[in-house]
């Protein structure tokens, strides 16, 4: 079966712009989580969506938002980009139940210049 | 608040030597712990979970609630074990929190 697909793989944006990243989960998975990965901070949890509802949220500013569609695909949006937003953004999907394993995508590498 | 601590950013061992990657956690509820691995140019993938109590690629990890630890061990390191290893804790709210990771290098 197809894995978790993230598009695009790479993005270069300028400060102040906004960006939308996409994640297609494994078929049948209803939970999608987003993480920001940087060399200094490691993997930081952004938010989790389950059945089109944001179920959990990390400690990121409101410039970071997301949504999930009825087919479980998810998008993440970052507005008013800052240089510090440069990172690898990872998406992970799971069935959504307690203890279900997460499957990660390859990520979208965002560079803000 | 929950926290996952991996005290070693870098760890180097010789091939055939034992390896232990440390992980300590802080969580008020009943923890579910995982080890994830990221090999060079590959995506992050699940290595093992404590509830399975299984050995994957020769690695084992035992949850020690008294010491709040979940250290990853392998008796004989192989070159292909070189990778980034992340310890992760799943909360009751289904949030998966990661430690900062340990880069393991196995020296031939």
- B79 phi and psi angles, rounded to 5 deg: -60, -35
Across the interface, of A31, A43, A98, the residue whose CB is closest to B98 is A43
Across the interface, of A90, A102, A105, the residue whose CB is closest to B46 is A102
Percent of chain B with pLDDT over 70: 100
CB contact under 8 A, A41 and B96: no
Put simply, whether B31 touches A (Cβ < 8 Å) is no
CB contact under 8 A, A92 and B43: no
Structure tokens at A56: 């959990």
Residue A17: CB partners within 8 Å, gap ≥ 6? Answer: A81
Q: A16, A102, A22: which is closest to A56 by C-alpha? A: A102
Residue A9: CB partners within 8 Å, gap ≥ 6? Answer: A106, A107, A108, A109
CA-to-CA dists, residue B68 to A105, B30, B52, B64, angstroms? 30, 11, 18, 6
- B52 phi and psi angles, rounded to 5 deg: -80, -30
Whether the pLDDT of residue A1 is over 70: the answer is: no
Provide the pLDDT for residue A95. 85
Task: Select the residue from B33, B40, B44, B100 to test the A interface by mutation, using most A Cβ atoms within 10 A.
Answer: B44
Put simply, whether B44 touches A (Cβ < 8 Å) is yes
Look-up of token digits 């909360």 = B91
- Tell me the per-residue pLDDT of B24-73, one tens digit each, with 9 for 90 and over: 999 998 888 999 999 998 999 999 988 777 888 999 998 998 999 999 99
Across the interface, of A48, A98, A101, the residue whose CB is closest to B49 is A101
Residue of A nearest to B31 (CA): A99
Provide the pLDDT for residue B88. 94
Query: From the CA of B24, how many Å to the nearest CA of chain A?
Result: 16
| Dihedral of the alpha carbons of B76, B82, B86, B87, in degrees to the nearest 10 | 0
Put simply, whether B43 touches A (Cβ < 8 Å) is yes
Residue of B nearest to A106 (CA): B43
Provide the pLDDT for residue B40. 92
Residue of A nearest to B6 (CA): A42
Structure tokens at A17: 């712009």
- SS3 for A25? coil
């Amino acid at each position: 079966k197809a894995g978790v697909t993230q598009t695009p793989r790479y993005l270069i944006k300028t400060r102040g712009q906004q960006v939308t990243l996409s994640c297609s989960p494994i078929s049948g998975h209803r939970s999608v989580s987003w993480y920001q990965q940087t060399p200094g901070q490691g993997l930081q949890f952004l938010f989790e969506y389950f059945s089109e509802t944001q179920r959990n949220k990390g400690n990121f500013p409101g410039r970071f938002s997301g949504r999930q569609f009825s087919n479980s695909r998810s998008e993440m949006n970052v507005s008013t980009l800052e240089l510090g937003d440069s990172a690898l953004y990872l998406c992970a999907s799971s069935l959504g139940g307690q203890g279900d394993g997460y499957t990660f995508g390859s990520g979208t590498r965002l560079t803000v210049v | 608040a929950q926290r996952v601590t991996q005290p070693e950013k870098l760890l180097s061992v010789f091939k055939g030597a034992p390896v232990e990657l440390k992980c300590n956690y802080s969580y008020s509820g009943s923890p579910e712990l995982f080890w994830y691995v990221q090999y060079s140019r590959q995506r992050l993938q699940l290595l093992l979970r404590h509830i399975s109590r299984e050995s994957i690629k020769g690695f084992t990890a035992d949850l020690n609630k008294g010491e709040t630890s979940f250290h990853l061990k392998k008796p004989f390191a192989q070159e292909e074990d070189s990778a980034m290893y992340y310890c992760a804790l799943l909360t009751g709210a289904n949030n998966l929190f990661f430690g900062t990771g340990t880069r393991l290098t196995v020296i031939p």
